[in-house]
Structure 1
Amino acid sequence: MKQTSKPVSFRWMNLASSIWPMKSKSKHMKYRNILNAIAVAAVSFSLTACDDFLDRPNEDSYNVDNFYQNDEQLYQTANQLYSSPWYDFQRGFIKVGEVMSGNYYMGSSPYLTLTVNSSDADLATMSASLWSVNAYCNTLIKNVNEKAGSATTETVRNAVKGEALTWKAMTYFFLVRSFGAVPIIHENSEMMASNTYNDVYKAKVEDVYAYIVQTLEQAIAWLPESAAAGRIDKYCAEGLLAKVYLAKSGLGMSGTRNEADLKKAAEYAKDVIDNSGRELMPNYADIFRLANNTCPESLIAWRWTAEGGIWTAQNSFQSDLAMTGFDEYISWGGYGGPSVDLIEAFDEDPTSPTRQNIDSRRKATLMMAGDVYEYFWTDLGGFDVLDFCFSKETKGGKIGPQTYQSPTGANCVKHLVGDNADHVAGIGHSMARMATSLATHILRLSDVYLIYVEAMIGNNGSTTNQSAIDAFYAVRHRARSGYTKPTSVTWEDVWKERRLELACEGDRWYDFVRLSYYDQATAISELTSQKRNAFFGLNDAYKVYWESGNLDASNASYDTGIAAPNVTSSSFTLPFPDTDLALNKHLLEDPIDVDVTQYKY
């Protein structure tokens, strides 16, 4: 396979003018391009496909000059945006989105204590991954504009560019909420040609948001109203734009938010709710099953595949989040788990073996003592949490850790598939080491419902608007079947509902960031009052309960010996990684004004 490349010294430029890499010789080849400042990116394309959506080119003769010749090939170029460039963002997705927010416990992690510094390895790979996505989007758009053959149609050319712009906007949305002011890299090849890629300045936060809005507006203009299952369409981009406007509404404000931005957020969200044709899944837990990877509730998602053995095309969350022995491969997630604070938000008590199950989202999010899952280990009759933890007899050749691993009283459920039999039953092919094909939902319809409600509440504290109440009721009633429709909804209602609905989906920290834009005191107060520590004695208490049916939790206690994190105004912005700072001195300087209208698509 032909590949044209030249060395570059800035990682943000690490996708050169060709997006077609050489074939990976090993399924364990790492996504090294984002870690090597002088290497051209090499995003591996799978040589086989699990379904049409994830098809990749499989001809060695393809290269950037002869590939963009028909509509099918154009779609294949965009497929990669849904997985590989995002791969090394996975740990940052959990550590920033959930651990920093107090939703997840990970021991002495600096993300838990809000003391992340610029030398953190996960911070570096997170940053590099985001900039690689941006570069891939830029390069794809350039190639479609310049190299698309006469057999391609304008509709598909625009659709593919619209997908790339939506992912580009998503990338900048993560960047600005993570790092604050960041450079705007609109086009890579021109910077490479002019050798200016180490001299780019940060744009002010408000200019970055303006760029995101402008990018999404163009994406909406190009995207079709409907697309193949799993692909981004106009309404997916509108849902993201609603979320951007909701976040943007607090910028530069004190106590209140910008009414015009709130109105835009409500308008875009309502259009998605009323006209997209999408609907909430009746059963919340079903959203996160393999068979529903492209369910009608999923607007934007990473669409992974474990088939083909190509590193970075797969979902690796199960290895990071599941208890040891959960599947036939390696996993190490039992040392952490959803926080005590999140457990209590679901009205559960870690020292009790009796589950309240007031909210159906709890069991679909938090795996606790007494839970049995019919959709895990389906070949063995289901997955019993305590049996798995303590049984010395193997079940179908699988044996648990012989201890209750969770330090908090819960383990993660979302992002897990189960064993290999579950994987085959769900999607038709096997999983592998650190590899499943489970989609990661980045924007769901229920999120858009809650965005609409919050935007309608606006600066009033509550709303009696019937359409907003209906939207809120739709989300909560699914989780709590006996819930009676209210006559008004408050901001506090929505704030908590977002936490329960989207827990462990990489979103909560960014809610705190946008809250800090206009009400930093409230954000700091909640973060410092959380139960972010572990429990002592749960293993012994649960083991006795499993053996005898009696739970004596008198020796189980919450660790009060670790102080709450020191949350300040600077806590809501992550530092740039050392590797980025070494390459661009301007990252340490004040941001500049940028007129984003100069950028053309």
Structure 2
Amino acid sequence: MKLKNILIAASLSTSLLIGCGEKFLDVQPTDQVSTEAFFASEADHEKALVGVYGILSRDYYEWTYQPLNMLSDLMSDDSYAGGGAGGSDQIEWQLMGQFNLTAANNQTTQAWKKCYVAIQRANTLINNFNSDVFSQKEAADGMLGEATMLRAHFYYELARHYENIVIVDLAAGESEITQSPVDETYAYIAKDMLDAIELLPDSQEHGSGRLDKWGATAELAKMFVFYTGYYKKDALPVLDGQPITRTDMIGKLEDLFLNSGRMLEADYATLWGATGDWTNESLFEIPHADTGWDQWQTEKLGNMGCQMAGPRGYKVNKDNSNYLTGGWGFGIPSKELVNAYEAGDMRKDVTIISAEKLLDDAWRVNPDHESGNPKGLLEVGHAWTGYFTFKYTTHASITPATWEAMNFPQNYVYIRLADMYLTAAILYKQEGNQGKADEYVNLIRARAGLTAKSNVTMDDIYDERRVELAMEGHRYFDVLGRGLEYAKQELDITNYTVSKGPADDPKYTEVSGGVFGDDLRGELGVPAHFEVTFDVAKKGFWPIPQSELDQLGSLKQNAGY
């Protein structure tokens, strides 16, 4: 099954999407046909599995823009919400980035709903799975492993965003639905992940988008580091099993490094844009496709994050741009991230692009454009830093011919091999194995063109993760996973000084949406746009949606809300 192609077909036929109940926490799985009639063949099981996979690429869920990697980053110290100037564009993103969420926030409500719809679909498949209709046991095991791993993935998304979540019990009545204690939640998810690893194949068809055992191992490692770090534990509990120790997790990662067939790409730049899909480094990749759809739709398969991140009001089209086409200007890199790169780090220009470079390209293409405010070639936005992300964005080489917002075909790589080497470095450092920690950090630094380090500290490892994985949705959970005191120290921004550009060249000051004469090479806005106060009382998590509290009186709101 080539997942990207089948998802395109599935988006045109909602009969393939199993189990879409109206309630977020429907206890009993619902189907468009009865389970007895539906799960009668291997093909039926595959259709149901596509319904679960399909939620992964739905980052425009229920008419709500929510690429989860972008939302994670704007809560970190790497990114600001951005968007249009004036402070009213996607205000819920801004509130999230400033830790001022309420239980009525539509972003967090829809993220909760999306995850539970996916879990419901996975439960429908898992609880009605009929291995007797499969011609080969390996195929049945693999498909059941995929469904189990996807259920675990969506539960983990819920656990790390909301903490106090519901593990759906099919035997429970609605009045009995309660949130699980945190340790029980993680034990349940860990068991699912371990079960999936045993069932999943060592490899899948290249470019299929289907999970193998190594993708499941990788997410288990990420969950292990977050859980043990945030909750100050030595091991990850497993339902009805032995806890996973640090030594166990290192062994699983070494197995991945030795036997997965994954390898670091020689050129960091090939990981994004036209060459970034299905690289040798990918472990867990979410496909997106250009369906050619020419109107707004929520079942779309394009990468909404690309359109969200592209430079706002940029006046260069895909046929003559050296870099990007226009977008909406969200997910603005912070000055702190820009300054985090060492001199000579080849990752910086792959991760971040400056307004100066974009304007130089626009002037090359349009030397005789109509000048003067508001005829500028680039529109200033909220919390303007003079930079844009350059990983998931409006790359000219992949800009769709029709309805760009719906159709950017750039996949999102949730986990790649470099992440796992640096995860292993954390675990080795904690175990006191300095040599292996140094080895894996320097493996990543060498590709970036940097000199080796010796006796790396934990801060060194996390700094390396920051610049290696920047704007990929990992920084916030790296920070939060080191504890609330550390998060407060890292994420608070007070007494901010806005660093304006020199305004010594008029070609950088023709701005639409700002003040004529503002230099787009510097920061624009007031200090309050850049200041953040991490609310320790909320423990770093999102609120339980108010609609859920109203519907299920047995649920309790998270601390601080």
TM-score, shorter chain, exceeding 0.5: yes
**What does residue range 132-531 of structure 1 map to in structure 2 within 5 Å?**
132-143=117-128, 145-146=129-130, 150-185=133-168, 187=170, 196-197=173-174, 199-229=176-206, 230-250=209-229, 252-253=231-232, 261-307=245-291, 309=293, 311-325=299-313, 332-334=327-329, 337-346=332-341, 358-371=344-357, 385=361, 387=363, 393=369, 401-403=377-379, 407-419=384-396, 422-423=398-399, 432-458=404-430, 463-465=433-435, 467-479=436-448, 481=449, 483-516=450-483, 520-529=484-493
Distance 1:132-1:554 versus aligned 2 partners, 3 A rule: closer
Distance 1:539-1:454 versus aligned 2 partners, 3 A rule: same
The aligned amino acid for 1:142 is N
Which residues of structure 2 form unaligned runs of 5+?
A: 1-12, 88-93, 237-242, 319-324, 511-517
Distance 1:161-1:9 versus aligned 2 partners, 3 A rule: same
Distance 1:568-1:328 versus aligned 2 partners, 3 A rule: same
- Partners of 1:391 and 1:403 in 2: how far apart? 18
Query: 2:491–2:534: 8 Å Cα contact kept in structure 1?
Result: no
**1:250-305: CA deviations, max 9, x gaps?**
35438x88896322332222211121110011111211234441112111121122
Question: Which among 77, 80, 83 is matched to residue 102 of structure 1?
Answer: 77
Instruction: Give the TM-score taking structure 1 as reference length.
Output: 0.73
- Partners of 2:252 and 2:466 in 1: how far apart? 22
- Partners of 1:404 and 1:471 in 2: how far apart? 40
Query: 2:76–2:491: 8 Å Cα contact kept in structure 1?
Result: yes
For these two proteins, the number of residue pairs brought into alignment is 500
Name the Cα RMSD after superposition: 3.9
- Partners of 2:477 and 2:39 in 1: how far apart? 39
- Partners of 2:110 and 2:280 in 1: how far apart? 32
Determine what percentage of the aligned residue pairs are the same residue: 20
The aligned amino acid for 1:452 is A
Q: Residue 438 of structure 1: SS of its match in structure 2?
A: coil
The aligned amino acid for 2:311 is M
The aligned amino acid for 2:391 is K
Q: Residue 10 of structure 1: SS of its match in structure 2?
A: coil
Question: Which among 30, 39, 51 is matched to residue 17 of structure 1?
Answer: 30
Distance 1:66-1:185 versus aligned 2 partners, 3 A rule: closer
**What does residue range 67-146 of structure 1 map to in structure 2 within 5 Å?**
69-70=41-42, 74-84=45-55, 86-88=57-59, 91=66, 93-106=68-81, 109-143=94-128, 145-146=129-130
Which residues of structure 1 form unaligned runs of 5+?
A: 21-61, 348-355, 373-382, 592-601
- Greater Cα shift, 99-108 or 231-240: 99-108
Q: Residue 87 of structure 1: SS of its match in structure 2?
A: coil
- Partners of 2:365 and 2:498 in 1: how far apart? 17
Q: Match for residue 50 of structure 1?
A: none
The aligned amino acid for 1:106 is A
Query: 2:398–2:410: 8 Å Cα contact kept in structure 1?
Result: no
**1:175-234: CA deviations, max 9, x gaps?**
1111112110255xx55xxxx245311011111111111001100110011111232111
Query: 2:341–2:348: 8 Å Cα contact kept in structure 1?
Result: yes
Query: 1:391–1:402: 8 Å Cα contact kept in structure 2?
Result: no
Instruction: Give the TM-score taking structure 2 as reference length.
Output: 0.78
Query: 2:493–2:533: 8 Å Cα contact kept in structure 1?
Result: no
Query: 2:313–2:379: 8 Å Cα contact kept in structure 1?
Result: no
